Structure 1
Amino acid sequence: MTTTIKNIYCVGRNYRAHAAELGNDVPDQPMIFTKPTHALAQMDGESLTLPSDQGDIHYEAELVLHIAKPYVPGIGVDEIVDQYALGIDFTLRDVQNVIKKKGHPWLPAKGFLGSAPLTAFRPFPGAASLAESNFQLRQNDQVVQDGNIANMIFDLQTIIDYIAKHYGLGPGDIIFTGTPEGVGPVRHGDRLELLWGEQSYGAVTINK
């Protein structure tokens, strides 16, 4: 990664249709979890090795923000964000289902090696501009997720303000902003490609 990354924040259940497809309640405030930086991987067309012995792994395509400045109250998303990317929040779904029932933290299901692949970062054009186009995840050339940030439950400004207030936010932090509906399992040999509009941003082939 050429972009410096410090903390990885992730937003859960930020699209109503995604919450519904998993049978989850819609949250009344952002649900935040983290991943270790060891989870990062590049979506550079090469293969990505994922666990093969812990049940289903689901893809979750997301817009990812890169924070450029220290947070101060009142700062706008277009001021504090300098770059954006697309990423996949891989989830060990069988593991997550067990730990959710037990009320345990999500780290075992969300923080494994390779669970946060990212495309290259690009200059941030502004939140309003990003809402003009959809982003997609294609699995073996078939569209499986097609989302727009305009459909988020909590918009980018709300997410940034919430994370900063409760956990802190500063240069080098990134935020996975939530996934639209259409999540599903990956298999050995699957090619996953992320696109913004019709432009390919990055891809990986799964090895598991």
Structure 2
Amino acid sequence: MTRANPYEAAASGIRNIYCIGRNYRLHALELGNEVPKAPIVFLKPVQTAVPMDGGVIELPGSRGEVHFETEIVLRIGRDYEPGAQADDLIDAMTLGLDLTLRDVQSRLKEKGQPWLDAKGFLRSAPLGPWLPYPGREGLQAHDFELRRNGERAQLGNAGDMLFPVDALIEHIGRTYGLGAGDLIFTGTPAGVAALADGDELTVLWAGQEAGSCRIRLV
């Protein structure tokens, strides 16, 4: 049975979900995309958030391939002001999945249309439990990982980001605004692939489990 969604805005305080596209060079290249010269920012609706708490997550498998993209997710604790430092604004971190309807996205890109239909569907933003934010240096001191059915599928490190956390905070805050309750999905490393019905997913931070779920394609 699909779990209820405790990340609803009224209950969780999530305000905006900002996502960064192509923030790892090898991921951009594996999809045949140009490496960006500035952050690519898109949004997911708040209703996409769902917990990775060991339960089942239902996804629309009838719409083509659903790809996993494992990411460090940052939570903003206070409003952005020009010159504010990332370590002063971020109050927690977790690992999340930016789930993507890849066939849908490819069609949208061909037409030059927005990605919302491919990125913003229900339950497309699974989130692990919140962890203390270790600061910029601490964030780069540990790897993050996705295991699918017990085997490593993705491995990443914040030090490989094209646009590091400070640059993302400055860009999003200056361009769109940032406030308490906003989340930032910071981009995914190489290794994305299509999910299969029944896949067991586990995300790890510094070698320790930081969330898990089982996929049901419907």
TM-score w.r.t. the length of structure 2 is 0.94
Partner Cα distance (2:157, 2:12) in 1? 25
Deviation at 1:147, TM superposition (A): 0.3
Q: Confirm or deny: 8 A CA contact 2:58 2:215 kept in the other structure.
A: yes
Cα-Cα RMSD: 0.8
1:60 correspondence with 2:63: no
Which runs of 5 or more structure 2 residues have no equivalent in the other structure?
Answer: 1-6
1:73 correspondence with 2:82: yes
Partner Cα distance (1:78, 1:166) in 2? 19
Amino acid at match of 2:156: G
Deviation at 1:201, TM superposition (A): 0.4
Partner Cα distance (2:142, 2:206) in 1? 6
Partner Cα distance (1:143, 1:131) in 2? 20
Deviation at 1:62, TM superposition (A): 0.1
Among 135, 148, 154, which residue is 1:139 paired with? 148
Among 190, 212, 215, which residue is 1:203 paired with? 212
Report what 1:9 is aligned to: 18
1:160 correspondence with 2:182: no
Secondary structure class of the residue paired with 1:45: strand
Among 22, 32, 48, which residue is 2:31 paired with? 22
Partner Cα distance (2:84, 2:175) in 1? 16
Deviation at 1:17, TM superposition (A): 0.3
Partner Cα distance (1:144, 1:4) in 2? 31
Partner Cα distance (2:14, 2:193) in 1? 28
Partner Cα distance (1:190, 1:4) in 2? 30
Amino acid at match of 1:166: T
Amino acid at match of 1:169: L
Among 101, 110, 117, which residue is 1:101 paired with? 110
Equivalenced residue count is 208
Which runs of 5 or more structure 1 residues have no equivalent in the other structure?
Answer: none
Deviation at 1:3, TM superposition (A): 4.3
